[in-house]
Amino acid sequence: MRQAYRRILRYVPRYKVPLLFGACCVVASRLLMVYAPRLVGEALNALERGSPEGVDDAVRLGWTFLGVSLVAAVFTFGMRVFLVGTSRRAARDLQRDLFAHVERLPATFFDRTRTGDLLARLTSDVEAVRFSLGPGLMYVGSTIVLFPVAVASMMDLSLTLTLAALGPLLAIMVVVRVLGPQIMRRTRAVQESIGDLSARAQESFAGARVVRAYATEPVEEAAFGNENEGLVRETLALANFRAMLTGSLYVLGGGANLVVLWYGGSQVIAGTLDLGYLATYMLYVGMLIWPMISVGWVVSAFQRSAAAMERIDEIFDRPEESAITSEPAVELERIRGGISVSGLTFRHTGSARPALDDVSFEIEAGHTLALVGPVGAGKSTLLSLLTREYEPPPGTVALDGVDVTRIPLVVLRSAFAVVPQDAFLFSTTLHNNLAYALTGDLDPARAREVLQIAGLDEELVGFPKGLETVVGERGLQLSGGQKQRTTVARALLREAPVLLLDDCLSAVDTQTEARILDALREAMRRRTAIVVAHRLSTVRDADRIVVLDQGRLAEIGTHAELVEAGGWYAETYAEQRLEAELEGLA
Ligand SMILES: Nc1ncnc2c1ncn2[C@@H]1O[C@H](COP(=O)(O)OP(=O)(O)OP(=O)(O)O)[C@@H](O)[C@H]1O
Ligand SMILES: [Mg+2]
């Protein structure tokens, strides 16, 4: 238990005051609750005497009963406010830490994790843990106080009757122990099914355009239906066991009442027990049924939450990316942007063949390097190793002569402005998407400037609210080319010494591309730039061109040199030129 919950126990110290208040409320309210049935018993005994004084006594006891119940209610209220409230705050802390941790996990984690499953851990698993530790522990705590005190009070009235009544109540524990492990197992299955279902739905929604394009709605529905069917099966199996548990608990509770009526009744007739105290007993049994049931129920809540905590811990146990710095970190005072790659071999996790195979080249600070080659040659992989999105082997990639694996991630990443191949924009205003690159505020003049470089200024005029236009899921749908150019503008805002452009103009026409490249040239002159492109006309002015083929460096040189060399570059360039000329004729 301690082991399973060690992570959440860390949140306890900061809430010790409300927890202490809550615990006091538990003790006070339960003690008063145990006292109240005695008053009822005495009131009934007073009535049984049949005298006017007896009636007066009964009324006086009745008022006391009301007062005690009121105070008990106030303490019960306090108990819920302090304990359940604290559980909500602690769950918030846990959720916040989990989110922050996930944000810092390496790219390899996201390659192999379904978003839906991650969301389930962040929401329903956290809630399961909260529920067991908040309301769950509260019920356990009140049982721990209530049970011994109530039993002592019962024994004080009749030892034998107490023992008889406890039999069925304790049988409740046995039932819980038998059914508990089954419930635990099935709960885990249900949680996994929920994860599968939401992952399925999430992917289907994210790929809605593909689904529509291929008219595969029925396929998606069937797949979702399957997952859903599985979930229902698991849930029903779990519900059956839960129902069995709850059912037996009620039957045993009823049994306890029967014992009191029957055995207690015979004691009343024999004159060894006052009739009023029989009522006290009935109230005690009623009072003890719920804690027994709640204990049984809390046991399964704890089993569910132990499984949930395990799933949460699986995420927390993944090392954050900044933790993977092999040697003492080096501070880069002024990054100039020289890059050298030497003997770089890299294989993606789970991939059979290396994406990069013994690649070496250098870029002087301020120069522009083009990275070209067939699809899947390893161009994007190479860029992601420079920024340590994926971790390169030590000693293979250096920035200004310093091994990147020794540079703290924040420092390293501040050296790069990246335009990734998939143009991702957040579902917010254009302004916010651009400002995302900055730590401070976005200067409108500067925004206009970069939008102009990225060739988006003319279209911006047509947007309903200019820079304040919301794009993406909640607003205006941008075209592929508009999205790409927005990401270029975003990267330009970041005054980083190295600019990485991964095929960022693939979705614009040749004329627009040429115009943007002209404008970009100025920005690139001040920085080191690596430009990935499929259209070779894009990169002919680069200081150097590297051709990758199946992860290997196939050719390297200037445009003229490579055309001269007559390899893949020369062939592809000639082909593309011919195509362009034919297009021009058409
Ligand atoms: N996250 C990943 N996990 C496993 N394999 C990967 C991953 N990313 C890329 N690969 C593999 O590595 C190889 C190189 O991929 P990469 O994306 O670097 O190619 P690329 O040159 O950028 O291609 P393109 O021109 O199509 O963008 C491919 O065989 C690809 O399947
Ligand atoms: Mg790529």
- Say if CB 75 and CB 82 are below 8 A apart: no
Question: Which residues, 6 or more positions from 115, have their beta carbon under 8 angstroms from its beta carbon?
Answer: 199, 202, 203
- Cα(380) to ligand 1 centroid in Å equals 7
Q: Is the CB of 379 under 6 A from ligand 1?
A: yes
378 Cα: distance to centroid of ligand 1 (angstroms): 5
Cα of 199 vs centre of ligand 1, distance in Å, is 24
Confidence at residue 5, expressed as pLDDT on a 0 to 100 scale: 80
The token pair at 494 is: 């970041």
Tokens 């960022």, located at residue:
504
C-alpha of residue 533 to centroid of ligand 2, in Å:
9
Residues with Cβ < 8 Å from 189, sequence gap 6 or more?
A: 234, 237, 238
| Rounded Cα gap, residues 381 and 347, in angstroms | 9
Share of the chain above pLDDT 70, in %: 97
Counting from 1 in the atom list of ligand 1, the atom nearest the Cα of 377 is: 21
Contact between residue 286 and residue 167 where contact means Cβ atoms under 8 Å apart: no
- Residue 199 backbone phi and psi in degrees, to 5: -65, -45
385 in Cβ contact with 356 (< 8 Å)? yes
Q: What is the pLDDT of residues 467-488, one digit of tens each?
A: 888 887 767 788 888 999 999 9
Residue 290 to residue 321: CA distance in whole angstroms: 49
Lateral strand order in the sheet of 356-363: 356-363, 339-346, 397-399, 402-403
The dihedral sign for the CA sequence 552, 554, 556, 559: negative
Count of C-beta atoms within a 10 Å radius of residue 276? 21
SS3 for 377?
Answer: coil
> What is the Å distance from ligand 2's center to 189 Cα?
38
Going by CA atoms, what residue is nearest to atom 24 of ligand 1? Answer: 375
Tokens 């705590």 locate to 141
| Residue at 16: amino acid letter | K
Examine the pLDDT at 60 and tell me if it is beyond 60. Answer: yes
Residue nearest to atom 29 of ligand 1 (CA): 376
CB of residue 535 inside a 6 A radius of ligand 1: no
pLDDT tens figures, 287-329 = 887 787 777 778 778 877 888 899 999 999 998 886 555 455 5
Residue 410 Cβ inside 6 Å of ligand 1? The answer reads no
DSSP string, 253-302: HHHHHHHIIIIIHHHHHHTSS-HHHHHHHHHHHHHHHHHHHHHHHHHHHH
Q: Is 376 in the pocket of ligand 1 (CB under 6 A)?
A: yes
Q: Are strands 552-557 and 402-403 parallel, antiparallel or unpaired?
A: unpaired
pLDDT score recorded for residue 513: 84
pLDDT tens profile 365-388: 999 999 999 999 999 999 999 999
**For residue 539, how far is its CA from the centre of ligand 1 (angstroms)?**
21
The predicted-structure confidence for 134-159, as pLDDT tens digits, reads as follows: 898 898 899 999 999 999 999 999 99
Q: How far apart are CA 332 and CA 410, in angstroms?
A: 11
Q: How confident is the model at residue 3 (pLDDT cuts 50, 70, 90)?
A: low
Please tell me the residue having the least CA distance from ligand 1 atom 12: 355
336 ligand 1 Cβ < 6 A:
no
Tokens describing residue 305:
């939450």
Tell me the angle at which helices 275-316 and 137-157 cross, rounded to the nearest 10 degrees: 160
Taken in order of first residue, the domains within the chain and their CATH numbers are: 6-318 (1.20.1560.10), 331-415+496-586 (3.40.50.300), 425-493 (3.40.50.300)
Q: Quick one: average pLDDT of 152-173? A: 89
Query: From the CB of residue 164, how many other CB atoms can be counted at a distance below 10 Å?
Result: 17
Are residues 392 and 346 in contact, defined by beta-carbon separation less than 8 angstroms? yes
Cut 0.75: pTM above it: yes
Pocket test for ligand 1, best of 105, 108, 351 (most atoms within 8 A of CB): 351
> Whole-angstrom Cα distance, residue 121 to residue 317?
14
- Supply 429's token pair: 């205003």
Question: Which range (17-26, 91-100, 200-209, 570-579) has the least confidence?
Answer: 200-209
Query: Can you give 296-356 as a three-state secondary structure string?
Result: HHHHHHHHHHHHHHHHHHHHHCCCCHHHCCCCCCCCCCCCCCCEEEEEEEECCCCCCCCCE
Q: What is the pLDDT of residues 521-573, one digit of tens each?
A: 888 888 999 999 988 988 888 999 999 999 999 999 999 999 999 999 999 99
Nearest alpha carbon, ligand 1 atom 6? 348
Handedness of CA 40, 144, 17, 22 (dihedral sign): negative
Q: What atom of ligand 1 comes closest to residue 382's alpha carbon?
A: 18
Residue nearest to ligand 1 atom 16, measured at CA? 378
How confident is residue 356, by pLDDT bands cut at 50, 70 and 90?
very high
275-316 and 52-103 helices cross at what angle (nearest 10)?
Answer: 0
Distance 567 CA to ligand 2 centre (A): 21
Ligand 1 center to 350 CA (angstroms):
12
Q: Is residue 380 lining ligand 1, measured as CB closer than 6 Å?
A: yes
Q: Is 381 in the pocket of ligand 1 (CB under 6 A)?
A: yes
Spatial neighbors of 579 by CB under 8 A, at least 6 apart, are none
User: Counting beta carbons within 10 angstroms of the beta carbon of residue 363, is it exposed (0 to 12), middle (13 to 18) or buried (19 or more)?
Assistant: buried
